[in-house]
């Protein structure tokens, strides 16, 4: 189903022509489709339906926009959070505390207290000492913190090094070999209700094999823990499911993913938590921009657009590919570099790419920016954070204001 598509030669978001949005709020602007978000959210839920699902916890880091989180809450989603700020967003969006899980390698005492007071459903412990501190914090409050232990299964996720988390040397989780002993010690702490294991080996995984290998190791660990007399009622399988960014890329379907999970976890007898981010929100957004100049270059011209790496970091940070397209294509094609106005060479979206022919003043988009797009925005070069807009049918509304460029406190 196409939620961003051409009608009479003009790119639309659902029923709204993008030039109307550019006119109303200016560019650059992040545009989301509510229908696309619902489609992915319900599609993922439907694929998981045969499995024993405890919760689908949307990874808020992928897109913390409260309007989008509210929509996901309506679709039955909870949240995977990594900070007090994300906790506040999830609660403000109406997500049920029980459906919130707290991951993250550096939870502060204050953040743990806020999460305990909110009554969240699960803490994912990243190290033993965190369990001891959390146990003490819970005990003085007269509660027991529901926890799982995040394990690093020592699997190469086969993704970009900056977003892989499951290899032997990583800041995340505890090594799988050390997990049984740590689990046994954590199980003795009064302030904890130790329920099981969590795993997440990386993001943008377009091949299910490394995930399957990791989950298989987790299954072995669950058996080992039970053989040692421990209760294991919950396993959190993390997120990481990849999506197609380039036209020639493929990615596993939700059904492929759920099928693999069903096969591997068949005899586990646990409730499963999922933490999808990108796969839910990635395709539900695009970044609308305007061409400022088409500047002659040595090998190819530079298409300089008004969006920059502060709006969409992924190409600069991971050499990520985002499809570029004209809003009203003129018919021709051109070979070009695409860059933003920020004063460093890294502010580049594409090099020597074949794209729709564009001219100064044309509108264009970067596709598939719903995940880790606005979420990673900065104000570098005193650029205002770009607004965010949610389209639903033939209506739209601003769900993120354009930021300011002057710090009044200074």
Summarize as ranges the residues that interact with ligand LLP (CB under 6 A). Answer: 59, 61-62, 80, 103, 163, 200, 203-204, 238-241, 275-279, 314, 318, 371-372
CB nearer to ligand LLP: pick between 163 and 358: 163
CB nearer to ligand LLP: pick between 124 and 336: 124
Retrieve residue 108's tokens.
């502060």
How far apart, in Å, do the first and last CA atoms of the chain sit? 49
Asked whether the CA dihedral 370, 375, 380, 386 is positive or negative, the reply is positive
> On the CB side of 325, how many CA atoms lie within 13 Å of its CA?
17
CB nearer to ligand LLP: pick between 53 and 398: 53
Q: Are 315 and 398 in contact (CB under 8 A)?
A: no
CB nearer to ligand LLP: pick between 215 and 396: 215
Establish whether 343 is a catalytic residue.
yes
CA 352 to centroid of chain Cα atoms: 28
**Closest approach of ligand LLP to the CB of residue 221, in Å:** 17
What is the secondary structure of 72-138 as a DSSP string?
HHHTT-EEEESSHHHHHHHHHTT--GGGEEE--TT--HHHHHHHHHHT-SEEEESSHHHHHHHHHHH
**Of 1, 2, 49, 343, catalytic:** 343
Alpha carbons 89 and 63: distance in angstroms, whole number = 10
CA angle in degrees (0–180, nearest 5) for 355-356-361? 115
CB nearer to ligand LLP: pick between 73 and 316: 316
**Closest approach of ligand LLP to the CB of residue 390, in Å:** 20
**Closest approach of ligand LLP to the CB of residue 279, in Å:** 6
CB nearer to ligand LLP: pick between 201 and 363: 201
Residue 154 falls in which region: left (phi positive, over 0), alpha (psi -120 to 50) or beta? left
> On the CB side of 230, how many CA atoms lie within 13 Å of its CA?
26
Alpha carbons 379 and 382: distance in angstroms, whole number = 5
**Closest approach of ligand LLP to the CB of residue 66, in Å:** 18
**Closest approach of ligand LLP to the CB of residue 105, in Å:** 9
**Closest approach of ligand LLP to the CB of residue 369, in Å:** 10
Strand bridging mode 333-339 / 388-392: unpaired
Active site residues: 343
């Amino acid at each position: 189903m196409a939620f961003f598509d051409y009608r009479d030669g003009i790119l639309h978001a659902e029923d709204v022509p993008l030039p109307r949005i550019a006119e109303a709020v200016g560019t650059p602007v992040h545009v989301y489709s509510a229908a696309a978000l619902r489609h992915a959210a319900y599609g993922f839920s439907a694929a998981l339906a045969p499995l024993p699902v405890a919760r689908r916890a949307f990874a808020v880091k992928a897109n913390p926009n409260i309007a989008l989180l509210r929509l996901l809450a309506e679709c039955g989603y909870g949240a995977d959070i990594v900070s007090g700020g994300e906790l506040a967003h999830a609660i403000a969006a109406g997500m049920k505390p029980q459906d919130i899980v707290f991951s993250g390698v550096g939870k502060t005492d204050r953040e743990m207290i806020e999460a305990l007071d909110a009554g969240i459903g699960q803490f994912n412990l990243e190290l033993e000492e965190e369990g001891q501190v959390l146990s003490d914090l819970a005990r003085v409050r007269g509660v027991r913190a529901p926890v799982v232990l995040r394990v690093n299964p020592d699997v190469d996720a086969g993704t970009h090094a900056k977003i892989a988390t499951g290899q032997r040397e990583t800041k995340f989780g505890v090594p799988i070999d050390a997990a049984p002993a740590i689990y046994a010690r954590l199980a003795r702490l009064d302030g904890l209700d130790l329920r099981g294991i969590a795993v997440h080996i990386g993001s943008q995984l377009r091949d299910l094999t490394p995930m399957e290998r990791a989950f298989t190791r987790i299954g072995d660990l669950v058996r080992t823990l039970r053989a040692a007399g421990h209760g294991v009622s919950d396993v959190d399988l993390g997120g990481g499911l990849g999506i197609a960014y380039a036209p020639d890329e493929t990615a596993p379907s939700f059904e492929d993913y759920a099928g693999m999970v069903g096969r591997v976890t068949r005899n586990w007898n646990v409730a499963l938590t999922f933490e999808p981010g990108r796969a839910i929100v990635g395709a539900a957004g695009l970044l609308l921009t305007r061409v400022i100049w088409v500047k002659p270059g040595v090998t190819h011209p530079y298409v300089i657009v008004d969006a920059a790496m502060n709006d969409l970091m992924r190409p600069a940070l991971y050499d990520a590919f985002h499809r570029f397209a004209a809003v009203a294509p003129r018919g021709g094609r051109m070979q070009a570099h695409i860059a933003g106005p920020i004063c460093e060479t890294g502010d580049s979206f594409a090099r020597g790419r074949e794209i729709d022919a564009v001219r100064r003043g044309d509108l264009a988009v970067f596709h598939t920016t719903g995940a880790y797009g606005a979420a990673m925005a900065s104000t570098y070069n005193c650029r205002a954070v770009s607004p965010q807009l949610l389209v639903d049918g033939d209506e739209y509304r601003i769900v993120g204001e354009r930021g300011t460029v002057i710090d009044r406190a200074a």
